[in-house]
């Protein structure tokens, strides 16, 4: 499902036009981005947890050339599905 | 920073942004995540622009070991929800570390070294730069100044050497000019010779040659300068001969040199007379035999040196000492008289040839050495009498036969140290005590001058 299909399905579910839904979705995503930029953690009940984690710098080796490279530290956004979501996924949507 | 937000917090902000009522915002947010879930269930993947991709990943069942029991267990296969953030969101999150880039490491690069480099670069750069620069500058200045200094030193040295080389030559030339004039030469020649001798023998030879050349050009007597210089120092016969051979030597100079030589002989050597020498030798030989006789007498009698002597023996010893002293005095007087007579003779007859004098000198020396040896032998033989002159240690293994030296007791000195210093052993403290009348070795007055006894094994 790509973004367009997602917005159309969301619009049909929310009762808005796809354009309005897209605008609202953009606002929501802007809010999410601002949250994650501040390294906050967002817990959505019944869905999962978004968390910004810091990955330390590390040395990687290119197996083909044997070249070593130092990967700098970085902040990554991780998502951990909640047990409810996992359970639903296991059962194929049957709740 | 790092707060735990819930959906309610999210919808609050979202409502402000979208100018929506809180309830509508909350319902829309809930629908949003619910639609993601639905999409996942339908198509196993949801791609949302600006957020990322949610995917369902099938994980196959695998065997594992229960960490508690150690039993093999099988983890059932399941689906896992994976999330990959969108590039925009990823960069936004990683904004604080966005300046970092992956660095290709060389093979020799060490991580610890890199950390140190980072430290030195970031923290110490500003501090270290200026001092090192200053130090380098000062060093360069120092080296430059040193080189300058050394150059200056070399220059001064060369100048000085040149001066020293020049000065003696000039003086010698002056002296050679002056030598024909007797009244001046008497006073000035010795000083010239002194300068030549002081300047160094190696250089003096060269300078003499130079001065000779100069003097030849001038036309003044050549050999005058070095001979006059050597005259008071060595006064050897061959040089006299040379003086005699030079055609240009003037009479005054010859007379003067003869006087110098005479003076030197009067000071240095005692001209001899064969008859006197024999007489003296005989006298000394007699003394020696006397001493040997007494020594034999001492050594042959029962050895109770440390013990008390009888009154008769003491008297006899005193008499003997007086006799010896008288004999020594007589010998000295005779020697002095002989010297005086010889000196007088010398003054009367200075025409003796040099070779005769030297031979006589050698003979005289040998006789004197012999005499001295005889005296020393006599002194050795007289030791037993000296034993009585010094206090002895009762029951000691050694006899005190003389004074080796003196030692002033200063703070820090101990009898033990002194004993070690003079005898290389600490066992000789009692002898030092006995010599100096010290009753308590632990209490020695400060600044007391201690006589260190000369010891002889019994």
A16-47 pLDDT, tens digit per residue, is: 888 888 888 899 899 888 888 888 899 988 89
Q: Is B113 contained in some domain? A: no
Strands B45-48, B72-75: pairing kind: unpaired
Summarised one tens digit per residue, pLDDT across range B316-356 is 777 888 888 888 888 887 888 777 776 666 555 444 444 44
- Choose among A23, A41, A92: nearest Cβ to B5: A41
Out of B387, B415, B448, pick the residue that ends a domain: B387
Q: What is the pLDDT of residue B343?
A: 67
Q: Is the dihedral of CA B273, B278, B283, B285 positive or negative?
A: positive
Residues B323, B376, single domain; the answer is: yes
Residues B357, B423, single domain; the answer is: no
**Domain that includes residue B443, residue range:** 390-457
Residues B288, B309, single domain; the answer is: yes
- Three-state secondary structure of B188-244: HHHHHHHHHHHHCHHHHHHHHHHHHHHHHHHCCCCCHHHHHHHHHHCCCHHHHHHHH
Residue B362 has pLDDT above 60, yes or no: no
Q: Is B151 contained in some domain? A: no
B222 vs A90: CA distance, rounded Å: 132
**Percent share of chain B, pLDDT over 70:** 50
Please, which pLDDT band fits residue B261 given cuts at 50, 70 and 90? very low
Q: Is B1 contained in some domain? A: no
Q: Is B120 contained in some domain? A: no
Q: What is the DSSP letter of B77?
A: P
Residue B175 has pLDDT above 70, yes or no: no
A19/B contact by beta carbon, under 8 A: no
In B3-22, the residues whose Cβ lies within 8 Å of chain A are: 3-7, 9-10, 13-14, 17-18, 20
Total count of domains within chain B: 4
Q: Is B119 contained in some domain? A: no
Residues B381, B396, single domain; the answer is: no
- Contact criterion met (CB < 8 Å) for B13 and A35: yes
Q: What is the pLDDT of residue B243?
A: 41
B9 vs B137: CA distance, rounded Å: 64
Strands A74-81, A48-55: pairing kind: antiparallel
Residues B281, B382, single domain; the answer is: yes
Chain A residues within an 8 Å CB radius of B78:
86, 90
A17/B contact by beta carbon, under 8 A: no
Out of B387, B407, B431, pick the residue that ends a domain: B387
Q: Is B187 contained in some domain? A: yes
ipTM for the predicted complex comes to 0.90
How many interface pairs between A and B have CB atoms less than 8 angstroms apart?
175
Residues B234, B295, single domain; the answer is: no
Question: In the predicted model, what is the mean pLDDT of residues B198-205?
Answer: 41
Summarised one tens digit per residue, pLDDT across range A40-90 is 899 988 899 999 999 898 899 989 988 888 999 999 999 999 998 888 888
B249/A contact by beta carbon, under 8 A: no
For every residue of B283-346, DSSP letters joined together read HHHHHHHHHHHHHHHHHHS---SSSPPPHHHHHHHHHHHHHHHHHHHHHHHHHHHHHHHHHHHH
Query: How confident is the prediction for chain B on average, in pLDDT?
Result: 66
Q: Is B124 contained in some domain? A: no
Length of chain B, in residues: 458
Residues B380, B397, single domain; the answer is: no
- Contact criterion met (CB < 8 Å) for A89 and B18: no
B45: domain CATH number is 4.10.520.10
Chain A residues within an 8 Å CB radius of B6:
42-45
Summarised one tens digit per residue, pLDDT across range B41-66 is 888 889 998 889 998 888 888 888 88
Q: Is B278 contained in some domain? A: yes
Residues B83, B172, single domain; the answer is: no
**Domain limits, chain A:** 1-38
Kindly identify which residue of chain B lies nearest to residue A69, measuring between CA atoms.
B104
Please, which pLDDT band fits residue B273 given cuts at 50, 70 and 90? low
Q: Which of the residues A12, A17, A22, A24 would you substitute to probe the B interface, choosing the one with the greatest number of B C-beta atoms within 10 Å?
A: A24
In B85-144, the residues whose Cβ lies within 8 Å of chain A are: 85, 88-90, 92-97, 100-105, 107, 109, 111, 114
B260 vs B142: CA distance, rounded Å: 57
Q: What is the DSSP letter of A56?
A: P
Question: In the predicted model, what is the mean pLDDT of residues B141-166?
Answer: 44
Chain B residues within an 8 Å CB radius of A86:
78-81
């Amino acid at each position: 499902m790509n973004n367009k299909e997602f917005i159309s399905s969301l619009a049909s579910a929310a009762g808005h036009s796809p354009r309005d839904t897209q605008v609202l979705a953009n606002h929501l995503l802007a809010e999410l981005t601002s949250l994650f930029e501040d390294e906050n953690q967002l817990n959505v009940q019944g869905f999962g947890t978004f968390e910004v984690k810091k990955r330390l710098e590390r040395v990687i080796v290119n197996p083909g050339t044997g070249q070593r490279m130092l990967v700098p530290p970085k902040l990554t956004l991780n998502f951990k599905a909640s047990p409810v979501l996992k359970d639903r996924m296991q059962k194929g949507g049957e709740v | 920073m790092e707060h735990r937000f819930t959906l309610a917090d999210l919808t609050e902000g979202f409502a402000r942004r979208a100018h929506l009522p809180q309830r509508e915002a909350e319902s829309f947010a809930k629908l949003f995540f619910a639609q993601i879930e639905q999409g996942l269930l339908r198509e196993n993947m949801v791609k949302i622009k600006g957020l990322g991709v949610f995917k369902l990943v099938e994980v196959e069942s695998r065997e594992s070991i229960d960490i508690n029991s150690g039993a093999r267990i099988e983890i059932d296969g399941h689906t896992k929800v994976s999330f990959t953030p969108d590039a925009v969101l990823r960069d936004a999150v990683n904004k604080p570390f966005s300046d970092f880039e992956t660095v290709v490491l060389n093979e020799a690069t060490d991580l610890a070294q890199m950390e140190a480099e980072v430290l030195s670069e970031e923290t110490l750069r500003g501090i270290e730069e200026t001092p090192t620069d200053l130090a380098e500058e000062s060093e360069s200045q120092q080296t430059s100044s040193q080189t300058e200094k050394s150059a200056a030193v070399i220059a001064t040295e060369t100048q000085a050497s040149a001066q020293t080389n020049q000065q003696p030559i000039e003086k010698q030339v002056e002296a050679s000019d002056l030598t024909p004039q007797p009244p001046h030469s008497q006073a000035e020649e010795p000083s010239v010779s002194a300068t030549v001798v002081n300047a160094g023998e190696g250089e003096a030879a060269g300078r003499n040659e130079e001065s000779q050349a100069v003097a030849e050009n001038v036309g003044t007597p050549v050999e005058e300068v070095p001979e006059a210089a050597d005259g008071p120092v060595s006064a050897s016969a061959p040089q006299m001969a040379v003086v005699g051979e030079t055609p240009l030597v003037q009479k005054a100079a010859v007379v003067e040199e003869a006087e110098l030589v005479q003076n030197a002989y009067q000071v240095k050597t005692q001209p001899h007379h064969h008859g006197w020498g024999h007489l003296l030798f005989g006298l000394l030989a007699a003394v020696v035999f006397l001493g040997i006789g007494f020594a034999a007498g001492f050594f042959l009698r029962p050895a109770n040196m440390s013990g008390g002597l009888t009154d008769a023996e003491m008297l006899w010893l005193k008499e003997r000492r007086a006799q010896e002293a008288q004999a020594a005095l007589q010998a000295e007087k005779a020697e002095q008289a002989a010297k005086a007579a010889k000196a007088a003779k010398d003054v009367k007859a200075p025409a003796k040839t040099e070779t005769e004098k030297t031979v006589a000198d050698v003979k005289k020396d040998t006789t004197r050495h012999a005499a001295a040896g005889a005296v020393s032998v006599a002194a050795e033989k007289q030791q037993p009498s000296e034993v009585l002159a010094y206090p002895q240690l009762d029951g000691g293994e050694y006899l005190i036969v003389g004074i080796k030296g003196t030692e002033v007791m200063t703070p820090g000195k101990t009898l033990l140290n002194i004993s070690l210093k003079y005898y290389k052993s600490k066992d000789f403290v009692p002898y030092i005590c006995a010599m100096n009348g010290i009753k308590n070795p632990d209490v020695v007055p400060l600044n007391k001058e201690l006589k260190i006894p000369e010891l002889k094994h019994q």
